[in-house]
Amino acid sequence: MKKEKDNSNKALIGFILMIIILVYAVTMTILFMTTYNKLSESNCDEIKQVLYYESLELESVDDVENIYDYYSLASEYYDISDYQNTIYYCEESRELSSKYSQKLREVKAEYPEELSEILELRKEMIETEIEYTFALYESCEYIESAARSYQQGDYYMGGSNIDGQNRAINRHDSLLEDYYNLEAKYNKLKKGMLV
């Protein structure tokens, strides 16, 4: 009888332990799913926000190609001493640079004050892009001034402007490298969000 009672107590204890383990497993599953869903929703919201700001930037990306095309043409005409076309293409490149920088400033102004790490990085990319676009703008100003000086026979001033142009284009190249480094970090974070 005592053996039957011990067996029955063991069975009852086993049954109670199984119920406790089952309740624990169900509770942990519910907690995990709730937390996972909240994290997934949060991650989806962040991805949507990232894509929204990217799309704002991409609306004016065509201007960038033209800025560089005009700058290249200005440089080529400068190299063959066609100063009139140098001036024309510098003016075109500078006008587009100015418009593009303004669009970037408007996009930057739309960012909320509190940013996630990835959006903070994207904002820094925009700031760097504004800076290197301005450096290209300055470079165009120097080439244009050099062309005007050479047209008037002022070779000293023309040479001085070319020195300024070289400094501006070196700054542009350095900022462009900074931008590419930021872009690599940004893409790594973005890839992590999608996994």
Does residue 53 fall inside a structural domain?
Answer: no
pTM of the model: 0.74
Burial (CB count within 10 angstroms: exposed 0-12, middle 13-18, buried 19+), residue 137: buried
Residues 153 and 69 in one domain: yes
* Token pair of 112 as six digits: 């909320």
Burial (CB count within 10 angstroms: exposed 0-12, middle 13-18, buried 19+), residue 129: buried
The 10s digit of each residue's pLDDT in 101-137 is: 999 999 889 888 887 888 899 999 999 999 999 999 9
Supply the range of the domain harboring residue 145.
59-194
Tell me which of 6 and 180 has the higher pLDDT: 180
Please report the pLDDT score of residue 114 as a whole number: 83
When divided into structural domains, the chain yields a total of 2
DSSP, collapsed to helix, strand or coil, labels residue 186 as: helix
Residues 34 and 105 in one domain: no
Q: Are the CB atoms for 57 and 104 separated by under 8 Å? A: yes
Residues 74 and 149 in one domain: yes
